[in-house]
Amino acid sequence: GSGVVNTVGIKLEAHVSEGLRELARRAGVPLKSVLLAAHLKVLSSIGGERDVVTGLVSNGRPETTDGDRVLGLFLNTLPFRLSLDGGTWEEFVAKTFRAEREMLPYRRYPLSQIQLENGGRAIFDTCFNYVHFHVLEELASFDELEVLGTGGVADTNFALLVNFQLSTQTPEIDV
C-alpha cells in the first residue's frame, strides 16, 4: 500500500438512525449488532460472498475490582465470521448478536497470536468499530464542563475500517 489513509465521514440522517434503532428494538438486540449486520451485508454485496470475515474491535478492559480505574487502551480486534444465509433483517441481526456473544469470552486473545497460528498472514482486511462515549452524556449535565469534541485520529493497516460513532448530542449516527 501507499501508506496513505483516506477518511470519509458521513452522518446518517435522523430518520435513518431512528429506523436502525427501531430494528434493534424489534429484534431485541443492541444497536451495535444492527450496524455490524449492515457492515457484513455490505461486505457480502461488494465481494459477492455469502460467508464473510471482518475484524471486530472489542473492549478488553479488565473485569476486576477497580478495573475501570486502570489507565490504558484495552482494545483488541478479532476475526468475526458469519454466513449470510437468507431470512429477515430481524433474524439476521439476532444471528449477528448471538455470534458476538459467543465470541465475547475470547475478546482478549491477541490478534497477533491468531495471525501467527495462521502462518503469519492477515485473516481479514476490513474492520468494524462501534463507539459510544455514553459517559459524555452524563458530563453534559454539569454546567461547569464543556465537551469540546469527541473525534479522534486513527491510522490503520486495514483496507477498510468502518467506525460507527453515536453522537452524544443528536440522534444521528456518525460513520
pLDDT 10s digits, 65-114: 887 777 777 788 999 999 998 889 999 999 999 999 999 999 999 999 99
Distance (Å, whole) CA 86 – CA 143: 50
> Is 25 a residue whose pLDDT tops 80?
yes
pLDDT band at 162 (very low <50, low <70, confident <90, very high): confident
Cell of 20: 436502525
> Which of 161 and 154 is assigned the larger pLDDT?
161
**Strands across the sheet containing 160-166:** 11-12, 173-174, 160-166, 126-131, 51-59, 75-83
Does residue 103 contact residue 56 with C-beta atoms inside 8 Å? yes
pLDDT band at 170 (very low <50, low <70, confident <90, very high): low
> Which of 14 and 171 is assigned the larger pLDDT?
14
Burial readout 109-148 (b: 16 or more C-beta within 10 A, e: otherwise): eeeeeeeeeeeeeeebebbbbbebeeeeeeeeeeeeeeee
pTM to 2 decimals?
Answer: 0.83
